[in-house]
């Protein structure tokens, strides 16, 4: 037990130092906020506009799930290499380990973690008064904006 005493003392000193540093920072730090200090700063470039929106939390949940699956693969490889030497106990451990990750993945999908963007509703063109939607003047060429074709010639030789 005496051989662990230096580790315990060092851990206690680290915790005390961290706690004292945090408390001293809260007590001694100047509090003069202004708009320049609260503005985002990245590489010396002042942002021209605000970001449209923040990333949804489901993005981070899916990222964490993929990291967990990578860890599962890292643990599955040594098992696959020495499967016969490890026996049936290791097989059931790997099965339980994989089941936990699979259940977490199914839960995330059930909660809608892979549903990105706004919900789109289907529009029925044959019901109701949607005459403006059925106009013969509305074609793919008149309603879809073509990007990257400015100045190029079309099939007839005319500039777009």
Read off the pLDDT of residues 64-92 as tens digits, 9 standing for 90 and up: 878 888 888 888 888 888 888 888 888 99
- Helix residue ranges, H only, the chain: 5-28, 35-38, 57-81, 83-110, 140-143
Q: What does the pLDDT look like over 13-35, one tens digit per residue?
A: 999 999 999 999 999 988 888 87
The reported pLDDT for the residue numbered 97 is 86
Residue 47 pLDDT level (bands cut at 50, 70, 90): low
Residue 122 pLDDT:
55
Contacts of 39 (CB under 8 A, 6+ apart): 46, 47
* pLDDT category of residue 11 using cuts at 50, 70 and 90: very high
Predicted confidence band at 51 (pLDDT cuts at 50, 70, 90)?
low
CB distance 160 to 153 below 8 Å: yes
* Residue 38 pLDDT grade (very low, low, confident, very high; cuts 50, 70, 90): confident
pLDDT digits (tens, 9 = 90+) for 145-157: 666 666 666 655 5
């Amino acid at each position: 037990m005496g051989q662990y005493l230096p580790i315990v003392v060092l851990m206690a000193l680290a915790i005390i130092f961290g706690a004292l540093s945090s408390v001293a920072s809260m007590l001694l730090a100047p509090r003069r906020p202004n708009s320049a200090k609260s503005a985002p700063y990245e590489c010396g470039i002042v942002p021209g506009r605000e970001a449209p929106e923040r990333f949804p939390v489901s993005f981070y949940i899916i990222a964490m799930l993929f990291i967990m699956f990578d860890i599962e693969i890292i643990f599955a490889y040594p098992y696959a290499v020495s499967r016969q030497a490890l026996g049936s106990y290791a097989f059931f451990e790997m099965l339980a380990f994989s089941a936990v990750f699979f259940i977490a993945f199914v839960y995330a999908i059930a909660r809608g973690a892979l549903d990105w963007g706004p919900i789109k509703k289907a529009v029925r063109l044959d019901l109701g008064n949607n005459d403006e939607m059925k106009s013969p003047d509305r074609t793919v060429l008149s309603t879809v904006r073509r990007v990257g074709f400015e100045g190029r010639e079309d099939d007839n030789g005319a500039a777009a």
